[in-house]
Structure 1
Amino acid sequence: MSVKLAILYYSTYGTNHQMAEIAAEAARAAGAEVRLLKAPETAPEAVIAGQDAWLAHAERTAHVPPATAEDMEWANAYLISAPTRFGVMASQMRAFIDTLGGVWAKGGLAGKAVSAMSSAQNPHGGQETTLLSFYATVMHWGGIVVAPGFTDPVIFQTGGNPYGYSHTQGQAFNDDVKAAIAHQARRLVDVAAKLG
């Protein structure tokens, strides 16, 4: 079966965008058709313009299309990446998810493989609760959670989070980090293909 993977991210300063790019490269190499998409920004333009790093990232990624309900219907697998905010997913991603009621109501999100990644400023900044709370949403969709688990030794080398890769601000995107993200993306593609 052909895997059509929507990699949907939200990123204020670029961390989750970089994670999504690494995942997209690995998923394409595994044979998936990939759409790299961002959650629409909900913060006021004046707020973004007032923070140089936020504005610079927004300008650098202006070419990345915003996700739509149609993208979610097109895909048969999803990889969602968003930073944690107070222990849950950033509001921009949640706002997009909250627009999917129509797709959900007709079963358009059910039976699809879903995995998630996150980031935070510090190692215990809420990454695990962010991922677990999002997986509750996936269960409401009728989706199939595809967490990386401890299916590759690199999971232990990058923090030991079995729910999904989580990045700590300031951590280098070294070979282990890239390998952990790539492993999660390949695992998602593999499971999605088996679900057929």
Structure 2
Amino acid sequence: MCKMAIVYYSSTGTNYKLCQAAAEGAKEAGAEVRLARVAELAPEAAIASNPAWKAHMEATKDVPVVKLEDLEWADAILFSTPTRFGNMAAQMKQFLDTTGGLWFQGKLANKVVSAMTSASNPHGGHEATILSLYTTMYHWGAIVVAPGYTDPILFQSGGNPYGTSVTAKDNGEIDDTVLAAARHQAKRMVTIAKKLNG
């Protein structure tokens, strides 16, 4: 059975919802899934000043915090992070910076990896953020499996071939086409990982 880790950072819930959809897709494709969040680094005062952020933190407090063992365990790893000035969020970067030991031992090589993201406007750095994540993956020697245009849902959901991305809405809702794209992306990862580990 393919093992997939889905690792995310989400302040107000958008990336969490993307990952829930991806987890559904991975399970439908026959994968065992671990959903985990990276640790929050922001000060309590910052979180408390944003009601949506505070509510999401409380709602997801029982989601496990990712461990390096989750990456080692997985055949495929899907990352999701909001964009921060066209880069991944600092919380995700901090976690990735702890993977040096696994990288040095070659334990991240040949893992199937992919990424998703969100931003508050359509041109807020979606593609650049995903590419910033992939830079780390290239150093690992991982195998980046982008969704490309392997299904019509990619066009319908906004047309990002690098990974599913969404423009976050104030009400927190995500269009069904975007959730379907996240499911497809995860299924594609499972399919490729099964072929590689066949």
User: So what's the TM-score if we normalise by structure 2?
Assistant: 0.96
The runs of 4+ residues in structure 1 deviating greater than 3 Å are none
- For residue 34 of structure 1, give the secondary structure of its aligned residue in structure 2: strand
**Map of 1:119 onto structure 2:** 118
**Map of 2:18 onto structure 1:** 19
Work out whether 1:61 is the aligned partner of 2:60. yes
- For residue 110 of structure 1, give the secondary structure of its aligned residue in structure 2: coil
**Map of 1:84 onto structure 2:** 83
Amino acid at match of 1:48: I
- For residue 116 of structure 1, give the secondary structure of its aligned residue in structure 2: strand
Structure 2 unmatched ranges of 5 or more? none
Amino acid at match of 2:40: E
Q: Structure 1: how far apart are the matches of 2:74 and 2:150?
A: 25
Q: Structure 1: how far apart are the matches of 2:186 and 2:64?
A: 20
Deviations 1:40-99, CA, capped at 9 Å, x for gaps: 111112221222111110000001000011111111110000000000001100000001
Structure 1 unmatched ranges of 5 or more? none
Q: Please say which of residues 9-18 and 47-56 is displaced more in the overlay.
A: 47-56
- For residue 65 of structure 2, give the secondary structure of its aligned residue in structure 1: coil
Work out whether 1:45 is the aligned partner of 2:47. no
- For residue 80 of structure 2, give the secondary structure of its aligned residue in structure 1: strand
How many percent of aligned residue pairs carry the same amino acid? 58
- For residue 134 of structure 2, give the secondary structure of its aligned residue in structure 1: helix
**Map of 2:142 onto structure 1:** 143
Whether contact under 8 Å (2:14, 2:174) holds in the other structure is no
Paired residues, number:
195
Amino acid at match of 2:189: L
Q: 1:121: how far off?
A: 0.5
Amino acid at match of 1:106: Q
Q: Structure 2: how far apart are the matches of 1:77 and 1:155?
A: 21
Q: Structure 2: how far apart are the matches of 1:191 and 1:80?
A: 16
Work out whether 1:185 is the aligned partner of 2:186. yes
Q: Structure 2: how far apart are the matches of 1:3 and 1:84?
A: 29
User: So what's the TM-score if we normalise by structure 1?
Assistant: 0.97
Q: 1:172: how far off?
A: 4.4
- What's the Cα RMSD here? 1.0
Amino acid at match of 2:152: P
Q: Structure 1: how far apart are the matches of 2:153 and 2:24?
A: 18
Deviations 1:7-60, CA, capped at 9 Å, x for gaps: 001000000000000100111111100000001111112221222111110000
